[in-house]
Structure 1
Amino acid sequence: MNTIHYEKQGEVAYLYINKPEKRNAIDSTMSDLFLEYLEYFKNDSEARVLIITGKGDKAFCSGRDLKEAKENPEAFKKKPLRGRLFNAIIETYKPVISAINGVAVGAGCEIALASDIRLASKGSRLGMPEAKRGMGATFGATILPKLISPSFAAKMLYTGKLVSSKEAFQVGLVDEVLENQEQLLERATEIAHDICECAPLSVQRIKETIWKTMDVPLFQALQLDIGPNVYESEDRIEGAQAFLEKRKPVWKGQ
């Protein structure tokens, strides 16, 4: 099995970071594969939601493989994760759920931050220890203060300390905490199926609107027309008709 494993079950796709012997640390080859599968998911009209998780029971992703940075510094420099992997997760413009099963640190935490929904299993820990490694946490330092209390985000970033799944839930960093990994994936899949009940173009428009207006002043954001025009779509007509006929809509994505 590849170090990045991708599979699809119906309309739900799963991407597994699969290097448990290294706590799912990501090297350059893995980041390339990750990006390839994100592009595949983005262009697959049948895939509606992506769930990202880690193989094994200790780590979601322990960040960038620092051993590669020492042994192959050129690869490390030429393929930085920031601006590539995290942006690509956002720019799929389809919902992405991170099912955090264990530690999610550094780039692993940033993968979760780039996702739309974050679930964690009990005992998981999250954080960005870049300040302890002489690194910058550029993506994390940009996005984390927008998702949770800026002062709590600053404390996490300045100290590099990890927070428990319980504390992450309390500050809104994760949306739910599940008892174990089995329940974690079950719940992620359940949410994915709930999303699949909705119109694809509507979900895409909503995701684009969320991300593209995050830093835009309110009244300016309200004037923007972002994403596909759902108001003239076939699915808008189908949604209204299905509601009146008390049946499930049959979405075409157009």
Structure 2
Amino acid sequence: MSLIEYEKKGQIAYLYLNRPEKRNAINSEMSDNLLDYLREYKEDNDARVLIITGKGEKAFCSGRDLKESKENPEAFKRKPLRGRLFNAMIETYKPIISAVNGAAVGAGCEIALASDIRLASSDCKLGMPEAKRGMGATFGATILPKLISPSLAAKMLYTGQLISSEEALNIGLVDEVLSDNEELMKRAHEIGEQICDCAPLSVQRIKETIWKTMDVPLFQALQLDIGPNVYESEDRLEGAQAFIEKRKPVWKGR
């Protein structure tokens, strides 16, 4: 059985975490597979959006496989997720949507944090209990205070408590809460299609700008020219012409 399932439906790619019997906990093999498929998505010019979700009914991802850390500590040490998986997600510079269909704990929560858009089902729990496990939550402790209130981030990280999807919505940790998994995937696909309606170079430039200016002072950030030059692209001319002619643009990605 493949630990990751990957498929494309039109311009939208789907990546399924596939260890439901282990609540989709990530072991070394699974992390390598994740990186391979992220690279495939990044290099596929026809794939415009990636939706990540979990197989099974219980968990999106329960975090790093701590059983492996006990049985094979060297593999655990050699392949830390913080410098590999989360960086790879951010540096695709194409949109990633996390459809959180169950518990998103530890590294599972961090996968959601490294995504551009976070949707959740109504019955899921999210959080980073690393402080309860003697771990550091390095990526989570770095990014979470930038996405929500620093004091709320500190409370989540210091206590290791999990929060409900409704609480996550109230503090801005997730963007929408859907009634069930069917509605969750339907909404993720809908947003994916809306993104595919936009110019690919524009979306790439916007994602790069969001991530690369996150800690840059405003006036300094405004002086930066990040990502592809969309203003001299064929798609910019096509976008204007399509607007004038009241038709859907045909993007070429150049």
1:9 corresponds in structure 2 to 9
Question: Does 2:122 correspond to 1:144?
Answer: no
2:49 corresponds in structure 1 to 49
Please give the secondary structure, in 1, of the residue aligned with 2:60: strand
2:102 corresponds in structure 1 to 102
Please give the secondary structure, in 2, of the residue aligned with 1:2: coil
- Distance in 2, Cα, partners of 1:8 & 1:68: 31
- Distance in 2, Cα, partners of 1:69 & 1:210: 34
1:202 corresponds in structure 2 to 202
Displacement after TM superposition at 1:14 (Å)? 0.3
2:160 corresponds in structure 1 to 160
Counterparts of 1:212-231 in structure 2 under 5 Å?
Answer: 212-231=212-231
Please give the secondary structure, in 2, of the residue aligned with 1:210: helix
Question: Does 2:88 correspond to 1:88?
Answer: yes
- Distance in 2, Cα, partners of 1:219 & 1:167: 34
**Which consecutive aligned stretches of 4+ in structure 1 deviate over 2 angstroms post-superposition?**
none
- TM-score computed with the length of structure 2 as normaliser: 1.00
- Distance in 2, Cα, partners of 1:91 & 1:186: 26
- Distance in 1, Cα, partners of 2:211 & 2:28: 27
- Distance in 2, Cα, partners of 1:93 & 1:209: 10
- TM-score computed with the length of structure 1 as normaliser: 1.00
Structure 1 stretches of 5 or more lacking a match? Answer: none
Displacement after TM superposition at 1:137 (Å)? 0.2
- Distance in 1, Cα, partners of 2:100 & 2:216: 30
- Distance in 1, Cα, partners of 2:28 & 2:62: 14
Q: 2:152 is matched by which residue type in structure 1?
A: F
Displacement after TM superposition at 1:112 (Å)? 0.2
- Distance in 2, Cα, partners of 1:51 & 1:74: 31
1:134-155 CA-to-partner distances (Å, cap 9, x unmatched) read 0000000000000001000000
1:118 corresponds in structure 2 to 118
Tell me the matched-pair count. 254
- Distance in 1, Cα, partners of 2:153 & 2:192: 28
